[in-house]
Amino acid sequence: MKKGRLLLCAAVALVLLLNGCAGYTEIENMDILTSHFVYQRGDQVQIGGGVANVRSLSDSMASDPVNMLSAEGGNLHDAVSALQRSADHKLFYGGMRAIVIGSSYAVNGIGEFARYIRSTPEQRMSVDVFTSENEPQEIVKYKAVNDFSGGFSAESIMRTLESENLAPRCTLGDVLAALAEEQVGFAVPNIAIEDEIMRINGYSIFSGETKIAFLGAEQISPLGFFVSPHGKGRYYADAGGRTVTVEAQMTQKTVHVEESVDGQLSVAASFTFDMAVSDIGSAGLSQQETEAVKVGVAQQIAQSAESLLALSKNYGCDFLGLYKIYQTKHRARFYTIDWPDKIRNMQYAVDVQAGTFENNLTNEELWR
C-alpha cells in the first residue's frame, strides 16, 4: 500500500515538472484520477474512475485512499459534465494509469472516448488502454500486492507482460495513431478479473472505431510476433509418445508486403525461434525426438500466425501493422488506395524456422 502511494505521488510530481504546472500545492485540492472508465448502460453512458486526493495519499491512517467516482449521461459529453459536477475537487488526469473501456461501449465508441481523453489537461499519451467485460467497480477497487488501485494493477500487469515479450501493450497514443490512419485496425488488451485475479485474457480487435472481433488467450503470442520486435510463446509437442512443454523465443523476423503490377497484395512472413524444453526430466530427449519437437512447434507457430492473417483477410482489417511496412515504399500511394480491400484480397505465406534448442526449467511465475 505504501509503495503504491509513493509511486502515485512520484508520478504526479513528474507530470507537474514536465507540464510546467504551478506546483504540488496546486493539486493538493484536486482529485487525481488513477484510472478512467466508460461503459454503456442501456441508453446511458457511465463514466468515472478511481480517484485519490493528495491529502489522503499522505495520510498513513487512510485505509483506502482511492474511491470510485462515477456519473451518467445520455451521451459522452453529458456524462463528462456530470462527472465534473460530482467530483469534490477539480479532476487531475496526470496520474492516470489505465483507461478501461467497457465491451458494450467499445463496440462503436472507442474513438470518441480516446479523443476526449486527448483533450483533457495533463493527459499522458503513454497511458495503457484496455477493454473489459467486468463491472467498473471491480477494476477500480482491485488491489494486488504493493498496488493500491486497479489502475496501478492493470498497468503493472501489462508492462510486465510486455517486458517479458509475452503480450503487446496498447497505449492512448497507439489508438489515436491508428484512428488517424482511418483505413487500419488495432488490437486492445482485454482485462478481466477471474477467480479474484486480474489478468489479460485476450484482445479486442478494432477496424477504425468499430470492434469487429475478439482474440482469445491462445492467440496473444502470435499477435506479438507481428506487432512487437520480440515475442515469446509456450507450446506443447509430442516427443516419442510423451508431451513436453516448449518455450519459443522469437529471435528474427522478416515481413515483406509487396504489390504486383495488377495490384495484388502479397505478404511473406518469416520467423526464427530459439526453443527451450522446460519440463523437469526432459534432458533424455534423443536427437530424433528433439528434431520432432522442433518441427512440431514450428508448425504450431506457423499455423497460429496464418490464422491471424486469415482473420485479417476475412475482415479486411489490418490490425497486424502491415500498412507500416507498405508505407516504407509507397507512403503517398497508401492514401490513394482502398487498403481494407487490398487486405481482403491479399495472398500470404508464413515460414517458421527453429534456431537453438535447449533444456531448461520454467520460471512458472512468468506465465501466471
63-107 pLDDT, tens digit each: 556 788 999 999 999 999 999 999 888 888 888 899 999 999 999
Backbone angles phi, psi at 336, to 5 degrees: -115, -5
Q: Is the pLDDT of residue 288 over 50?
A: yes
Q: What whole-number distance in Å separates Cα of residue 315 and Cα of residue 346?
A: 12
Q: Is the pLDDT of residue 337 over 80?
A: yes
Q: Is the pLDDT of residue 22 over 80?
A: no
Among 200-204, 245-249, 277-281, whose mean pLDDT is lowest? 277-281
Please tell me which of 65-74, 278-287, 323-332 the model is most confident about, judged by mean pLDDT.
Answer: 323-332
3-state secondary structure of 160: helix
- Write the DSSP assignment of 68-116 as a string of letters: EEEEEESSHHHHHHHHHHHSSS-EE-TT--EEEEEHHHHHHHHHHHHHH
According to the model, what pLDDT value does residue 27 have?
65
Q: Which of 155, 30, 161 is nearest to 92 (CA)?
A: 30
Q: What whole-number distance in Å separates Cα of residue 78 and Cα of residue 248?
A: 49
All structural domains of the chain with their residue ranges? 2-217, 229-367
> What percent of the chain clears pLDDT 90, i.e. is strictly above it?
63
- Name the average pLDDT for the chain: 86
Among 17-31, 79-93, 169-183, 236-250, whose mean pLDDT is lowest? 17-31
122 pLDDT band, cuts 50/70/90, is confident
Whether the CB-CB separation of 31 and 95 falls below 8 Å is answered with no
Cα–Cα–Cα angle for 42, 180, 201, nearest 5°?
55
Q: What is the mean pLDDT of residues 24-46?
A: 84
Going by their DSSP bridges, the two strands 128-132 and 98-102 should be labelled as parallel
Question: What does the H/E/C string look like for 183-238?
Answer: CCEEEEEEEEEECCEEEEEEEEEEECCEEEEEEEHHHHHHHHHHHCCCCEEEEEEE
According to the model, what pLDDT value does residue 271 have?
98
Read off the pLDDT of residues 133-158 as tens digits, 9 standing for 90 and up.
998 878 887 875 555 578 888 999 99
Q: What whole-number distance in Å separates Cα of residue 225 and Cα of residue 187?
A: 13
According to the model, what pLDDT value does residue 89 have?
86
For 113, residues 6+ apart whose C-beta sits below 8 A from its C-beta are 38, 76, 99, 101, 105
Which grid coordinates are listed for 272? 526464427
Report domain 2-217's class: alpha beta
Q: Where would I find the beta strands (DSSP E) of the chain? A: 31-33, 35-41, 44-53, 66-73, 91-92, 98-102, 128-132, 185-194, 197-207, 210-216, 232-239, 242-259, 265-277, 347-359
According to the model, what pLDDT value does residue 159 have?
92
Q: Which of 128, 172, 120, 178 is nearest to 150 (CA)?
A: 128
According to the model, what pLDDT value does residue 94 have?
85
Going by their DSSP bridges, the two strands 242-259 and 265-277 should be labelled as antiparallel
Q: Which fold has domain 229-367?
A: GMP Synthetase; Chain A, domain 3 (3.30.300)
Q: Which of 157, 183, 128 is nearest to 335 (CA)?
A: 183
